[in-house]
């Protein structure tokens, strides 16, 4: 879930953690106009840069140490869940996420006041496909479940609204941004879940999946706020780390 939200930061984070960038290896946006913060349309200007870079870099760029992100690979991640009668731990492995290459920013607004910066970004993806293996250890009332298997989740019409706040600082004669807050809300038009191994009996699996697919809106509505405490700080940290490698002078006129 957390990966759906931080597309931009994931991209930048992968670029940043793959290897330390040297001064000459920053993402270059020379072919785009630099945006002026004085301009009322600065948001549209930044939107064009984002929308130009995302498809262009989807197969990765060895020189910038950016790995391919179509699909985006996630080796392993896990989280703990506890709400009412349900509690446990779920971990996922060998996750492949398809769809980031089709991310489009729809609305961008940027406000800079002194060294404070505020960015609001609304973006969308027509379709995402998330494949992988999962393993869970859950307790539902008195029932102990240890499901394990493959999953294939398809999301349609994903819209992500992200608000961030931070500050501009100088390092090596360049301007960088450090974020101290992020707030991300994903909306999904439709979702289909396929999985096996929930129950030993494949027929029970099918029944459980039918229920999950029918009531996904309710499930999502519970899981999203419950898990925000896990993915939101993670996104903030990744975004914050990646921004240390990206001087904003690349994008913004002084």
Ligand X SMILES: *[C@@H]1O[C@H](CO)[C@@H](O)[C@H](O)[C@H]1NC(C)=O
User: Least CB distance from residue 33 to ligand X, whole Å?
Assistant: 27
Question: Binder to ligand X among 37, 133, 232, 244 (CB under 6 A)?
Answer: 244
CA nearest 165: which of 114, 204, 129? 114
Q: How far is CA 101 from the centre of its chain?
A: 12
Asked whether position 154 contacts ligand X by CB under 6 A, the answer is yes
Angle, alpha carbons 37-251-114 (nearest 5°): 40
Interface positions, 120-149, toward ligand X (CB under 6 A): 129, 131
User: Least CB distance from residue 194 to ligand X, whole Å?
Assistant: 6
User: Least CB distance from residue 154 to ligand X, whole Å?
Assistant: 4
Q: What are phi and psi of 185, to 5 degrees?
A: -130, 110
**Residue closer to ligand X, measured from CB, 133 or 192:** 192
Collapsed DSSP state (helix, strand, coil) of residue 254: coil
The site map against ligand X for 166-185 (x = CB under 6 A) is ------------x-x-----
State the Cα–Cα distance between residues 168 and 36, nearest whole angstrom: 16
State the Cα–Cα distance between residues 81 and 73, nearest whole angstrom: 23
State the Cα–Cα distance between residues 73 and 130, nearest whole angstrom: 10
**Residue closer to ligand X, measured from CB, 138 or 188:** 188
Stretch touching ligand X by CB under 6 A, among 39-47, 134-142, 212-220, 237-245: 237-245
Question: Binder to ligand X among 198, 236, 246, 252 (CB under 6 A)?
Answer: 236
- 187 has which bridge partners? 159
**Residue closer to ligand X, measured from CB, 168 or 224:** 168
Contact 156, 189 (CB under 8 A): yes
Interface positions, 189-218, toward ligand X (CB under 6 A): 192, 194
Stretch touching ligand X by CB under 6 A, among 58-66, 81-89, 223-231, 232-240: 232-240
- Binding residues for ligand X, rule CB under 6 A, total 13
User: Least CB distance from residue 217 to ligand X, whole Å?
Assistant: 18
State the Cα–Cα distance between residues 81 and 28, nearest whole angstrom: 41
Contact 64, 55 (CB under 8 A): no
Max CA separation in the chain (angstroms): 64
Which residues here bind ligand X, judged by CB under 6 A?
75, 129, 131, 152, 154, 178, 180, 192, 194, 236-237, 240, 244
């Amino acid at each position: 879930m957390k990966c759906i939200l931080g597309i931009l930061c994931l991209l930048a984070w992968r670029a940043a953690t793959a290897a330390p960038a040297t001064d000459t290896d920053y993402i270059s946006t020379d072919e785009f106009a630099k945006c002026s913060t004085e301009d009322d349309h600065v948001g549209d200007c930044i939107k064009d840069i984002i929308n130009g870079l995302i498809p262009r870099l989807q197969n990765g760029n060895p020189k910038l140490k950016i790995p391919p992100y179509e699909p985006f690979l996630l080796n392993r991640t896990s989280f703990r869940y506890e709400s009412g009668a349900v509690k446990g731990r779920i971990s996922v492995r060998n996750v492949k996420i398809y769809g980031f290459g089709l991310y489009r920013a729809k609305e961008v607004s940027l406000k800079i006041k002194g060294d404070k910066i505020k960015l609001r970004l609304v973006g969308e993806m027509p379709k995402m496909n998330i494949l992988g293996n999962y393993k869970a250890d859950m307790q539902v009332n008195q029932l102990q479940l240890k499901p394990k298997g493959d999953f294939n989740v398809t999301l349609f019409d994903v819209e992500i609204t992200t608000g961030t706040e931070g500050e501009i600082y100088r390092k090596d004669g360049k301007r960088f941004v450090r974020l101290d807050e992020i707030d991300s809300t994903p909306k999904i038009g439709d979702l289909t879940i396929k999985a096996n191994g929930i129950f030993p009996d494949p027929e029970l699996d099918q029944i459980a999946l039918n229920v999950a697919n029918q009531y996904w809106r309710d499930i999502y509505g519970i899981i999203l706020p419950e898990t925000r405490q896990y993915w939101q700080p993670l996104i903030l940290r990744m975004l914050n780390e990646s921004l240390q490698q990206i001087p904003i002078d690349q994008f913004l006129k002084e």
